[in-house]
């Protein structure tokens, strides 16, 4: 679980120093906040964000304040996923504390303004990554307008096999099983970490996983995802007759480093970022390449728009 790089006291001091110098009231304040990695981090991120802009309570944190803070981050070279995580922290609080008519984070006008900020941020991100690549002597990143292109690669079936074998070679058998299951079900990192034995069931000889309240879903909304490509692994794991969390000793940092290590060892594109979410991208590509209909691809990936599915399933 991530920690903030500075204490709240240090952050407050930095806010005061910046205010005294008359600099932008949000820029460096927000930059110091660490990227959240879990639901708990979102809650903590909300608290630090309030300290950074010197407001308390969701009623006091106005839409313009949030957008000003995000504008301050544009030139810092962050990927748009960082901006979405800040929005997610505010969304969580609004769902808990504000009536539906006051939740500005889902208004069309807000999303239009927020989308424009993210578009500028991606341009800056690609420019910065391209400059970094040139300094390393590597080829420049593609600047084709795809918001995902500048960040992640896709762990397609072939790369997935390489990763599983690498994990087994290093005696990381639980992680090898987790990668196999997550890839088959297009599961996000948080979903595989929280997955329990009771979430998996076999119907007509085929495995499925139940995912409740996935990212950007309404509370209580449930998805049932086929897991045919992980049938052998699930048969073995479910045969243990255990209960509780599937992988209780799972460590996010360990699997991230294992994926990066495999990427270096196998010569995957060094201009891409290789992490757990690449499994989801790769499976989306696999499903499209093998001719799965768009509607079914969207259902399995739990995407509500064709645009999002295409961003995941494009060739890499």
- Cβ distance 65 to 55 under 8 Å? yes
> What percentage of the chain carries pLDDT values higher than 70?
71
- At 76, is the pLDDT very low, low, confident or very high (cuts 50, 70, 90)? confident
CB 125 within 8 A of CB 82: no
pLDDT band at 55 (very low <50, low <70, confident <90, very high): low
Residue 122 confidence (pLDDT): 83
Whether residue 131 contacts residue 123, with contact meaning beta carbons closer than 8 Å, is answered with: no
Q: The tokens 């918001």 sit on which residue? A: 147
- 294: confidence class by pLDDT, cuts 50, 70, 90: very high
Average pLDDT over residues 243-249: 91
Over 60: is that where the pLDDT of 206 sits?
Answer: yes
> pLDDT digit string (tens) for 164-190?
999 999 999 999 999 999 999 999 998
Mean pLDDT of 59-77: 78
Higher pLDDT, 130 or 59: 130
Give the model's pLDDT for residue 180. Answer: 97
What token pair was written down for 9? 């006291």
How many Cα atoms sit within 13 Å of 180 on the Cβ side?
23
pLDDT at residue 255, rounded to an integer: 94
Residue 2: what pLDDT? Answer: 40
4 versus 61: which is more confidently predicted?
61
| Residues 247-274, mean pLDDT to the nearest whole number | 90
Residue of 159 and 35 predicted with greater confidence: 159
Give the pLDDT score at 84: 80
Domains contained in the chain, CATH given? 8-135 (no CATH), 157-313 (1.10.443.10)
pTM above 0.95, yes or no: no
Q: Which residue in the block uniquely carries the two structure tokens 């209960």?
A: 243
């Amino acid at each position: 679980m991530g920690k903030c790089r500075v204490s709240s006291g240090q952050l407050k001091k930095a806010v005061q120093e910046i205010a005294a110098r008359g600099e932008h009231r949000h820029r460096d304040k927000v930059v110091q906040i660490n990227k959240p990695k879990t639901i708990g981090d979102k809650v903590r991120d909300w608290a630090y964000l309030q300290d950074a802009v010197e407001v308390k309570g969701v009623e006091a944190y106005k839409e313009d304040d949030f957008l000003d803070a995000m504008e301050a981050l544009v030139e810092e070279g962050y990927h748009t996923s960082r901006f979405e995580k800040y929005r997610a922290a505010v969304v969580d609080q609004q769902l808990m504390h504000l009536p539906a008519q006051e939740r500005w984070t889902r208004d069309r006008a807000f999303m239009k303004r927020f989308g424009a900020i993210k578009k500028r941020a991606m341009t800056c991100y690609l420019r910065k990554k391209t400059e970094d690549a040139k300094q390393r002597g590597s080829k420049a990143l593609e600047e084709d307008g795809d918001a995902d292109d500048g960040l992640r690669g896709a762990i397609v079936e072939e790369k997935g096999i390489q990763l599983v074998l690498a994990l087994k070679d290093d005696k990381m058998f639980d992680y090898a099983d987790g990668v196999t299951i997550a890839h088959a079900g297009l599961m996000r990192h948080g979903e595989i970490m929280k997955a329990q034995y009771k979430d998996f069931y076999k119907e007509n000889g085929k495995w499925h996983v139940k995912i409740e309240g996935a990212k950007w879903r309404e509370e209580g909304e449930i998805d049932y995802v086929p897991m045919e490509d992980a049938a052998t692994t699930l048969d073995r794991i479910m045969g243990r007759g255990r209960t509780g969390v599937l992988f209780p000793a799972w460590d996010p940092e360990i699997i991230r480093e294992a994926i990066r290590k495999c990427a270096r060892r196998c010569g995957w594109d060094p201009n891409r970022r290789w992490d757990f979410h690449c499994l989801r991208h790769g499976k989306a590509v696999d499903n499209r390449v093998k001719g799965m209909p768009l509607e079914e691809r969207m259902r399995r990936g739990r995407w509500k728009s064709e645009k999002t599915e295409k961003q995941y399933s494009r060739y890499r």
